[in-house]
Amino acid sequence: MSLDTFLSSSSTTTKRPRRLTFSRPAKRLFFLGLLVAGVITLFMTLNSRGNWDFVIPFRGTKILALVLVSYAVAVSTVLFQTVSGNRILAPSIMGFDALYVLIQTVLVFALGAHAASTLNPQLRFVMEVAIMVLFAGLLYRWLFGGTRRSLHLLLLVGIIFGVLFRSTAGMMQRLIDPNEFAVLQDMLFASFNSFDRNLLWVSAALIVGGSVVLWRIGHTFDILALGRETAVNLGLNFQRTVTIILIVIAIFVSVSTALVGPVTFFGLLVANLAYQVAGTYKHRWILPFAVGLSILFLVGGQMVVESLFSFNTSLSIVVEFLGGIVFIVLLIRGVGR
């Protein structure tokens, strides 16, 4: 081989562009994004029959509600498991679902079923969110106000308050009229069909505001997952960071619960599936996976309920059934951190 040929071949080799490679979580997340986009497109177009003037506003607002609830439930559950250091816990352990049940029971008990069901939706939404966030704020302030307070005490007090709320609601439900109790039972199930569309923009604003706060402290999530002692040794203000995250979690859970109703085990389902699918514990992957899986399940499940079962069953019942099975499996396997 001549010198000119050798130099030309060497220069060609050195100028060869490097192949763009993606990590395994990135490939899986891309595939999940395609599935989510496909399910949303199918939901918008299935049995539409070309009536786009009706289909786009009606199904579009339903998609927005499902996406908001999916995002709020997934993010709040993953971050709650991070700060608590346990993958079988969900924000419902703090008593938010029980408080929502108590609020609805008090409304029916005090005003009657007809007055409670015809109450202004905006006023009712603001009242429910304000009560749940106020409860969380007072609880966090009391528990984290002293130097000896701990996150484990917070979980214990949350469980006790949940039992108190459920017991109080159960006592009041036994005193109300049976016909009003039947109306109350319908109010206590999560519904992804009968929600006030005027509340979507308020919910979106609250969720976006909380997301901005989380984005600014997002670099601390992986540190928090290492545990309190390690996080403190690395220079993290553990108490302040955990308090901020818990307040945002309270806002997310309150908004999603007040918008569609309580979904106890759904967050537990998508959060643990996100860990399995992502194959990593980094929050920059876990959070998008959890949100994507949540949207996929809710939108796909709602599409199946509407088209296959013709609204003869409720999506919340199916979701809670699957989430309960996952919870039992996690308990049997002893999944913790």
Instruction: For the chain, give every domain's residue range.
Output: 24-44+52-333
For residue 104, the model assigns a pLDDT of 85
136-162 in b/e form (b: 16+ CB < 10 A) is beebbeebbeeeeeebeebbebbeebb
Q: Per-residue pLDDT tens for 237-266?
A: 888 888 888 889 888 888 888 787 777 778
Write down the CATH superfamily of domain 24-44+52-333: ABC transporter involved in vitamin B12 uptake, BtuC (1.10.3470.10)
- Range picked from 13-17, 84-88, 168-172, 225-229 for highest mean pLDDT: 168-172
Cβ neighbour number for residue 204 with a 10 Å cutoff: 16
d(CA 105, CA 188): 9
Q: What is the pTM of this model?
A: 0.82
Tokens representing 46?
């299935």
d(CA 47, CA 310): 12
Q: Identify which has the larger pLDDT, 296 or 190.
A: 296
Among 166, 167, 171, 140, CA closest to 154 = 140
- DSSP string of 50-69, one letter each residue: T-HHHHHHHHHHHHHHHHHH
User: What long-range pairs does 226-232 form, CB within 8 A, spacing at least 24?
Assistant: 227/85, 228/151
For residue 194, the model assigns a pLDDT of 67
Cβ neighbour number for residue 80 with a 10 Å cutoff: 25
For residue 202, the model assigns a pLDDT of 86
What percent of the chain shows pLDDT beyond 90?
Answer: 8
Q: Is the pLDDT of residue 148 over 80?
A: no
Q: Is the pLDDT of residue 146 over 90?
A: no
Q: How far is CA 111 from each of CA 106, 143, 195, 228, rounded to the nearest angstrom?
A: 8, 34, 21, 46
Q: Per-residue pLDDT tens for 309-325?
A: 665 666 667 777 776 77
Q: Are the C-beta atoms of residues 127 and 146 closer than 8 Å to each other?
A: no
